[in-house]
Structure 1
C-alpha cells in the first residue's frame, strides 16, 4: 500500500524513477481512482482528488494515460454512492482544462448534473459532497472548450437551476455555478442569441411564482442569478491574474435584470 501521507507532505511529488516507470505510475493511478470513491474525506478529497488533479495539471500523467482515466471517472456518474458521483466532475474538469475532452464524458455529465438528487454541501461524515459546485467546475471548463457547444452548457446550467429540489444551497454552490456560467458567457465565439436564450426557462420558472414560501429551487436560482449579475458586471476571473469581460455584457445584464425584476418588481 502506498504511503499517501508521505506523498501529501511532499505535495505529491514523485521520484523520477516512478515517473519514468509506466507500470508503477499506472498502479498509483489505479489506487487513487479507487480512493476517489471512498467515504473517508481524507482518502477521497485530500489524497485522491488532490493527487490526480496535481499530476494532471503538472504533466506527471503522460498524454496517453489521460483519456483512459477520463473514461473511468466518467463512468462514476452512475455510481450508487453520491461521493463517487460528485468527485468525478472535478477530475474531468482538470482533464478538460489540460485540453483533453471526449464527447462521451460530456454526454455522461449532462445526463447526471441536473438529475443529481443529493445536493448536500458538507456532510459531517462524508466531508465535502458538493455535487452542484463540483459539477459547476466541469460545466465551466467544458463550456470554454472549443469542441463543446457553449449553449449546451448554458442550457445545462438552466436545467440544474429549474429542477425542483428540497434543499436550499448554503455552501456557496450558487457562487460556483454562477462563476461557471460566467466563464461560458465570456467565450468569444458565443452568439448573442445563445448568451440570452438559455435564460428563457429560468424566466418562465420565476414568472410562474405564487404567493407563499419560496421553493428551494427558486431560492437557489435567485441567489445564482444575483451573483451572475455581479460577475457579468465586474468581469469573471479566469486565473490568478486575469479577469475577462463577458461578451454581450450589456445585453446579458439587461436580461438578468429583466428576469429578476419579475420576483421583486417593487424594488426597482
Structure 2
C-alpha cells in the first residue's frame, strides 16, 4: 500500500505542474446534466463542445454507488471522449493523477478504486496511441498499477443491485494497456508480471467466478507480445506457478477448501493463457503456451 500511495503522489505532483486551474464538477453532474439528461447524452454518444471539462466531470461519476452512473455514464462517457482523442494532454495528465490517487481509496461501497483503475486503463491507452506522459511519469503509473493490482483484497465481482466492483479484472486491464505500450521498458514489464503473479492465486482461499483468470492471462499475453523475455525466463516464471509448495504434491490440494481454490484458480489461469497463446502467432508468445501447458500438466 505504501508503494501505491507513493506512486499516486508522484503522479499528482506531475499533474500539478500541468495546470492548477479548477475544472468542472466534483459530483456526478457532467456539464450540469442529471437524470434523463444524462441518459439522453449517453444515447447521443457523449457529444460535447468542451471535452476537457466533460472528461473531468465524468471522472466524478466513477465513485457513485449507482451502477448506472458509475459504469454507464462515468466509465462509458470518459472512454468515449478519450477514444475519440478529444481530451487535451494537460487534462489527460491531470486525470492520470486524479485516478491514480483514487486507487488507494477504500470507500464503503468498494467501487472507487476498481473503477478508477478501469478508467485509468483508458487514459493509459491514450498514452500508447498518442503519448503524453514523460518517461518518469509513465514509470510512476506502472508502479501505481502494479501496486494496486497486488493490493486488491476485495474480490466482489458483480451484484444484481450494486453492479460491478471487479478490482482484480480492472487492475489487470490497466496493467495490460501499460504492457502493450512500447515505451514501457523491461523493468516495467517485469513489475507488471509480478503483480499478475500475486493475484493468480488470491490469499485466503477465494475462488474466482467472474472471469478474473482470463483477464490476468491477457496481461501475460500482452507482455509476451513485447518479446522482451527469453524462453528460459518464462519457463522459470511458470515453474514457480507449477510448484505446489508448501504442499508436497498437488494431490494434497484436494483436502481443503483453501487449497482446492488454489488449484481451481491456477488451472483457470493456465487454461486461459494456454488457449490465448496457442491461437497467437506473435513473436515471444510461444514460451507462454509452453509454460501454461507445463502448469496444466502438473495440475492434472
Give me the TM-score of the superposition, normalised by structure 1: 0.84
1:256 aligns with 292
More moved, 66-75 vs 211-220: 211-220
Q: 2:91 aligns with which of 58, 65, 84?
A: 65
Q: Which runs of 5+ in 2 are unaligned?
A: 1-31
Q: Give the deviation of 1:136 after TM superposition.
A: 1.4
1:93 aligns with 121
2 CA distance for matches of 1:8 and 1:180?
30
Aligned length: 247
Aligned: 1:33 with 2:78: no
More moved, 223-232 vs 116-125: 116-125
Q: Which runs of 5+ in 1 are unaligned?
A: 20-24, 236-243
1:113 aligns with 149
Q: Give the deviation of 1:162 after TM superposition.
A: 3.3
Higher helix share: 2
2:181 aligns with 145
2 CA distance for matches of 1:94 and 1:185?
21
Question: Cα RMSD (Å) of the superposition?
Answer: 2.1
2 CA distance for matches of 1:56 and 1:197?
38
Q: Give the deviation of 1:98 after TM superposition.
A: 1.3
Q: Which of structures 1 and 2 has the larger relative contact order (alpha carbons within 8 angstroms, sep 6+)?
A: 2
CA 1:169/1:246 → structure 2, altered by over 3 Å: closer, same or farther? farther
Q: Give the deviation of 1:116 after TM superposition.
A: 0.9
CA 1:73/1:129 → structure 2, altered by over 3 Å: closer, same or farther? same
2:255 aligns with 212
Give me the TM-score of the superposition, normalised by structure 2: 0.75
2 CA distance for matches of 1:152 and 1:73?
20
2 CA distance for matches of 1:227 and 1:85?
26
Q: Give the deviation of 1:207 after TM superposition.
A: 7.7
Whether contact under 8 Å (1:93, 1:137) holds in the other structure is: yes
